[in-house]
């Protein structure tokens, strides 16, 4: 069965389970072994979790730094040890809450490239040990700052009475929204934690195409999985495509590097030896089936790094 299923399912993950739990459930449901995901989602968070099946599991490397969008809420008044609502209060309650204008100004300050320290309860390694394991043992956790990018950060609503601010954020892969909430609280001199979080998109995978686990179970029983499965050819939609035939296709399938210029006919007024600079190429055969992903080597030379048999 594994030979017949390759692609991505966009799961709407419920709160209370881990990303690994979802992978295990899909593995049992479809009775296949090669199942993975593109980007961990914290247990208390909900929303988009792309689950890769079969040959699609090899595409995780291309989604490590993908943009992600979230909607959530920040509770001002006290911080927690996990930086979110699942943790233990780590500060005394502060009765005075920030003004809406102050939060909006802080949001602007945190937009762009910033240095962010991951939360102690995270999967980052400290001396070869996961940080969260040390934090659970109440051992000191020292993590260095990491550069991340906040492309957009918008205040959606604010209830000054209880100090809860609804927000939307688009950020680079590797960003901890929990740390963002914590750091904004520190900037405003009002301890804060992430009260809720829902991921609405990962790269090209959006919640409008997502399905709950119960819905996945239904379509498996109905044998209509294909209607929700994102095929390999639809992955990495922003990458340029190259169609190969005959001997060229055979060479790509054997992992042999090639020169892009030999596949491109120059347009009128364009020099024949001018090759566009493209970092990654999707290679398709004459039937428009994806057969490889090639990376730029140098000049016009590309190498098929991922060959799909």
pLDDT in tens, 274-284: 555 688 999 99
Do β-strands 192-202 and 290-298 pair in parallel, antiparallel, or remain unpaired?
Answer: unpaired
Q: Helix crossing, 100-109 with 177-187: angle to 10°? A: 120
Residue ranges per domain, the chain?
2-66+204-233, 68-172+183-191, 239-307
Geometric angle at alpha carbon 203, from 198 and 207, rounded to 5°: 40
Q: Is the pLDDT of residue 44 over 80?
A: yes
For 269-298, b/e burial (b = at least 16 CB within 10 A) is eeeeeebeeeebbbbbbeeeebbbbbebee
Mean pLDDT value across residues 110-117: 95
For residue 56, what are the contacts with CB-CB under 8 A and spacing of at least 6?
6, 7, 8, 232, 235
Whether the full predicted model's pTM is greater than 0.85, yes or no, is: yes
pLDDT at 130: 75
pLDDT at 267: 46
- Among left, alpha and beta (phi > 0; psi -120 to 50; other), residue 64 is alpha
Q: Is 183 considered catalytic here?
A: no
* Active-site annotation holder among 12, 21, 42, 183: 42
pLDDT digits (tens, 9 = 90+) for 212-245: 999 999 999 999 999 999 999 999 999 999 999 9
Q: Is the pLDDT of residue 182 over 50?
A: yes
Fold of the domain built from segment(s) 2-66+204-233: Pseudouridine synthase (3.30.2350)
Residue with tokens 């169609």: 243
To the nearest whole percent, how much of the chain has pLDDT over 70? Answer: 89
pLDDT digits (tens, 9 = 90+) for 118-145: 887 667 776 676 766 766 766 667 778 8
At residue 300 the predicted structure's pLDDT band, cuts being 50, 70 and 90, is confident
How far is Cα 7 from Cα 95, in angstroms, rounded to an integer? 50
Residue 148: C-alpha distances to residues 65, 72, 176, 232, 273 (Å): 10, 19, 9, 29, 38
**Based on C-alpha coordinates, what's the Rg of the chain?**
23
How far is Cα 173 from Cα 152, in angstroms, rounded to an integer? 14
For residue 269, what are the contacts with CB-CB under 8 A and spacing of at least 6?
none
Mean pLDDT of the chain, nearest integer: 90
Which is it for the CA torsion 158, 160, 164, 169, positive or negative? positive
pLDDT digits (tens, 9 = 90+) for 245-286: 999 999 999 999 998 876 654 444 445 455 556 889 999 999
Instruction: Give the architecture-level CATH label for domain 239-307.
Output: Roll (2.30)
Assess whether the region 68-172+183-191 and the region 239-307 belong to the same CATH fold. Answer: no
To the nearest whole percent, how much of the chain has pLDDT over 90? Answer: 78
pLDDT digits (tens, 9 = 90+) for 146-179: 899 999 999 999 999 999 999 999 999 999 999 9
CATH class for the domain made up of 68-172+183-191: alpha beta
């Amino acid at each position: 069965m594994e030979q017949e299923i390759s692609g991505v399912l966009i799961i709407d993950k419920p709160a209370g389970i881990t990303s690994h739990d979802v992978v295990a459930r899909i593995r049992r449901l479809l009775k296949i072994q090669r199942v993975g995901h593109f980007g961990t989602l914290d247990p208390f968070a909900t929303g988009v979790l792309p689950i890769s099946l079969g040959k699609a599991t090899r595409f995780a490397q291309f989604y490590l730094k993908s943009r992600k969008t979230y909607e959530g809420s920040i509770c001002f008044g006290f911080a927690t040890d996990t930086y979110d609502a699942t943790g233990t209060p780590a500060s005394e309650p502060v009765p005075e809450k920030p003004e809406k204008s102050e939060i909006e100004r802080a949001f602007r300050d945190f937009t762009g490239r910033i240095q962010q320290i991951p939360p102690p309860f995270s999967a980052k390694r400290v001396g070869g040990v996961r940080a969260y394991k040390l934090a659970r043992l109440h051992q000191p956790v020292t993590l260095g700052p990491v550069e991340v990018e906040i492309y957009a950060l918008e205040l959606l609503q604010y209830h000054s009475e209880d100090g809860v601010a609804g927000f939307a954020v688009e950020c680079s892969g590797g960003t901890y929204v929990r740390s963002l909430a914590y750091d904004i609280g520190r900037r405003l001199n009002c301890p804060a934690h992430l009260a809720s979080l829902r991921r609405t998109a990962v790269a090209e995978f959006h919640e409008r195409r997502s399905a709950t686990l119960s819905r996945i179970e239904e379509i498996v029983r109905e044998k209509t999985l294909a209607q929700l499965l994102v095929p390999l050819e639809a992955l990495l939609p922003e990458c340029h495509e190259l169609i190969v035939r005959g001997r060229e296709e055979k060479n790509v399938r054997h992992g042999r590097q090639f020169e892009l210029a030999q596949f491109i006919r120059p347009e009128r007024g364009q020099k024949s030896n001018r090759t566009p600079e493209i970092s990654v190429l999707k290679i398709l055969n004459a039937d428009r089936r994806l057969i490889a992903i090639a990376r730029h080597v140098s000049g016009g030379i590309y190498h098929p790094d991922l060959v799909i048999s």
